[in-house]
Amino acid sequence: MKFLRYRYFLTGLVAIQALFTLLIKPPKEQMLVSDAVHYHSWLTSAFIEKDLSLNFLKPDSTYDIQYAHNVTEDGKAVFKMPPGVALLQMPFFLVGHAIALATDQPADGYSNTYQLAIRLAGIFYFILSLIFLRHYLRKRFDEAAVNLTLAIVSIGSNLYYYAFMESGMSHVYTFSLFSILIWLFDKEKIRFQDALLIGTIAGMLYLVRNSNVFLMVYFPLLQYVGKSVKSNFFLQPRLIVIAAIPALVLTLTQLVYIHYATNHWMLSAYLGERFFWTHPEVLKFLFSFKKGWFVYSPLMLFIIPGLWIMFRKREGETLPIMITLLLSVYIFSAWWCWWYGGSFGMRAMIDLYALLMLPIAHAMQWIIRRKAQIRNFTLGILIIGIMINIFQTYQYQHAIIHWDGMSAELYKSNFFRIQTPPDYSGLDAPNYELSKRERLP
């Protein structure tokens, strides 16, 4: 395993991912589809139409799709998604917009120049997160354990797909921001500028997805339950106030926009959508062939022995991680659309991957320090798991793995297929409208 100690392992890993991406999804393929359009609409409305009120919308349905929005009961158009992803993508969008204006590319927000800009944005934040996580993990683990952990999460899970192929979705941005926040809270002394950065990132996490608020419960849990925060941030009121200022300012931007667009201060953009708190689909969420987390990212199962090792070693982060993980699974699986629409694997769990690297690293460290037979056997499992992930990524990209209707029968029949099937025998297509009203068997 000497190659795992190679100092440029991370660079090589990203290069391999970029190569696979070019083979699976060529650069000119559409990046701005599905929910990505909802995030992107902020940028096209602000810099192309120059109207965030959406008063420019026309009755033409194609035009409306490019400026994704919801309509309130009193007929006001409002963005469904918060503006955080758009803010993070904005520098890349503006460069793409400038190139489009200077060339013969259509400056409409959706031509190839913009598609490439958004892909590069996702890759940039993905690489940034790996750099911060590597610094965080290197304080506690051997180089080989760190590199194995980075490989498992970045190319052995569905994070790879959402960083390189659907970079317009929110998940890689949450992953990146959460990675930096973990690194900041690991500092022995948090200074004034660190507190400002913590507040800014916390506010941006909220603006990327409002539901990210509950992910941040992990950090006070570290202080009061795990007692493992080095800096005692939550015991210093001055730092909390400093951090609260940028967090509140960023949070208020969304409320101000809602009032600007609708004349209401509070409004749920997820109109007609709900949680089934008493009927979470936990088993389907984790193990179903439709979207099961451990079915489409099986290497994430290493978190289980990792947490056990942490428990045996009495690591302070053990209980906070377990609480955050269990809370996340419960909340995500209670959402009416527990399969999260057209997606590869359980995309909602990507938001936690930065946090889950710690138990995976503990598992890798334990394995590396065992006999050669155990190390080699585990390495074989990891190679197979990564190959399965890349292959299934290819299958999803070519609609061999169906975007929202997979079943055990369909999964089995298409397991080795490399071409899009002529039909989907055994398809389990969901009923979206009925699912909003009741839990279906």
| Contact between 208 and 177 (Cβ < 8 Å) | yes
Which pLDDT value is given to residue 28? Answer: 59
pLDDT tens digits for 182-225? Answer: 999 988 888 899 999 999 999 999 999 988 988 899 999 888 88
Q: Higher-confidence residue: 393 or 1?
A: 393
The predicted model gives 342-355 an average pLDDT of 95
Residues 6+ apart with CB under 8 A from 112: 27, 28, 105
Provide the whole-model pTM: 0.93
For the record, the structure tokens of 254 come out as 């969304």
Which pLDDT value is given to residue 79? Answer: 83
The predicted model gives 352-367 an average pLDDT of 96
Using pLDDT thresholds of 50, 70 and 90, give the confidence band for residue 381: very high
Going from N- to C-terminal start, the domains of the chain cover 2-271+281-397, 398-441
Give the chain's length. 441
* Cα–Cα distance for residue pair 269/266, rounded to 1 Å: 10
Using pLDDT thresholds of 50, 70 and 90, give the confidence band for residue 228: low
Mean of the per-residue pLDDT values of the chain: 88
The predicted model gives 369-376 an average pLDDT of 88
Q: Higher-confidence residue: 243 or 69?
A: 243
Which pLDDT value is given to residue 8? Answer: 66
Using pLDDT thresholds of 50, 70 and 90, give the confidence band for residue 160: very high
Which pLDDT value is given to residue 63? Answer: 56
State the residue for tokens 């398809």: 427
Which pLDDT value is given to residue 302? Answer: 97
**Range of weakest confidence among 160-174, 206-220, 248-262:** 248-262
Which pLDDT value is given to residue 266? Answer: 64
Percent of the chain exceeding pLDDT 90 equals 56
Residues 6+ apart with CB under 8 A from 399: 420
Percent of the chain exceeding pLDDT 70 equals 92
Which pLDDT value is given to residue 55? Answer: 80
Using pLDDT thresholds of 50, 70 and 90, give the confidence band for residue 372: confident
Which pLDDT value is given to residue 224? Answer: 81
**Range of weakest confidence among 20-29, 293-302, 349-358:** 20-29
pLDDT at 402 over 90: yes
**Range of weakest confidence among 6-10, 203-207, 358-362, 380-384:** 6-10
Which pLDDT value is given to residue 4? Answer: 59
The predicted model gives 242-271 an average pLDDT of 81
